[in-house]
Amino acid sequence: MHTNTGKVPIPADSHQPRLDLVAVKADFPILDQRINGRRLVYLDSAATSQKPWVVIRAITDYYRKQNANIHRGLHFLAERATAAYEKTRAHAANFMGGVQREEVIFTRGTTEAINLIAYTWGEANIKEGDEIVITEMEHHANLVPWVILAQKKKAVLKQIPITFCGHLDLSDIDNIITPRTKLLALTQMSNVLGTINPVAKLTELAHKQGAIVLADGAQAAPHMPIDVKELGVDFYAFSSHKMLGPTGVGILYGRRELLEEMPPFNTGGEMIDEVHFDRVTWAELPHKFEAGTPDIANVVAFDAALTYLEELGLESIRRHEMELTGYAIERLSQIKGLEIQGPREPAQRGGAISFTDPNIHPHDISTFLDSRGIAIRAGHHCAQPLLRILGKTATARASLYIYNDEADIDALIEALVEMRRYFGV
């Protein structure tokens, strides 16, 4: 195994213990299998993370011991399921820095959370001529809803550009965020470039102009401590499945005064107070935005995922990923001709590393690596406008998480070198 040469400076906090990678890997049963006769090297966590035993058991335990519909039943199982469900809400509130539990809305994921804002707050507050500001590096989930809303409302959709190095270019920010700006919607961490954006700084600028701020935390929340109060944002969204939890569960934080004013997104059962044939009144927060029977088992299991991450320590996770990202970028840079997207400094980015080979299509890279048991992602990563700006139709992306180590990076590098020989490059 190679060691980090120290060429890339890694901020170190001596108070944060290092992850026990042997123990962590042992917690993920899927990593025990072999793919095409080789050990599985999973480098696609930006798409979805793997699940530890504690999360898998939490799902099965729910169905074995607690299964019932929540909030309305008075019997033992219903009360037990409701308590477990609401425990996750309280846990998520603390995970985000200690917000009110009423400010935490369960959704099906980041995508639905952002659409909820677009179809409620956006419909009520965006008018003709208003400005919505996004960045050039947004995932489609934080882009398409604003394209549609801007077209419908005859609003102006503006973009904060990126620099050659993959940072946001703020040189003209005073002409981008203006008194006409009503919403700033931006990713905290890019799923293509890995860039960590200055959300708190931009939120302060937006608020001075009277704008509301939504942060897409899908890529950031699994990898670093999150405090929405420090960020200052009005809305924050993230997904369970990218942070060791089940699919189909998302979290939307919203400032209470904004949520109180917003109309509901879906309607039906649970989200009502009184229903008559000529009028309806809504339930109190957070239930006003949670119509119908939710994905109870997976919400309950998400609590186990949050506990697992907190026991490892988000600061320790961040330190591990910075070190591993620095090592991966250093080794990838040694392959002549390989082009890496995004910042090179690990302290300024996450572990989603997109790259291209001038002679081999990203889909062929992914297919070859899969034959060697290595799982990466290839394509436009739901960020087509960004890829066009980069001059690419697709990239290969290796994304790191807590169960990855230098041996996984070494396996990736060795396979890429072997791939080039195979294709005669």
Summarised one tens digit per residue, pLDDT across range 74-115 is: 999 999 999 999 999 999 999 999 999 999 999 999 999 999
Q: Could you give the CA distance from residue 341 to residue 362 in angstroms, rounded to a whole number?
A: 13
Whether the Cβ atoms of residue 174 and residue 144 lie closer than 8 Å to each other = no
pLDDT for 72 equals: 83
Which residue bears the tokens 């798409």?
A: 47
pLDDT for 70 equals: 96
Of 142, 51, 68, nearest in space to 382 by CA: 142
In the chain, the percentage of residues whose pLDDT exceeds 70 is 96
Q: Which of 9-23, 136-150, 162-176 has the lowest mean pLDDT?
A: 9-23
CATH number of 21-51+314-422: 3.90.1150.10
**Looking at the domain covering 56-310, what would its CATH class be?**
alpha beta
Q: 306 to each of 55, 68, 139, 253, 317, how far by Cα in Å? A: 10, 23, 24, 16, 13
Residue 165 a catalytic site member: no
Q: Count CB neighbours of 103 within 10 A.
A: 23
pLDDT for 425 equals: 87
Whether the Cβ atoms of residue 238 and residue 92 lie closer than 8 Å to each other = no
User: What percentage of the chain's residues is helix, strand, coil (to nearest 5)?
Assistant: 40, 20, 40
* Segments making up each domain of the chain, as ranges: 21-51+314-422, 56-310
Bridge partners (DSSP) listed for residue 103: none
> pLDDT tens digits, residue range 188-243?
999 999 999 999 999 999 999 999 999 999 999 999 999 999 999 999 999 999 99
Strands of 293-384, DSSP E = 339-340, 352-356, 374-375, 377-379
| Amino acid occupying residue 152 | K
Higher pLDDT, 44 or 15: 44
Catalytic residue, candidates 262, 382, 390, 411: 382
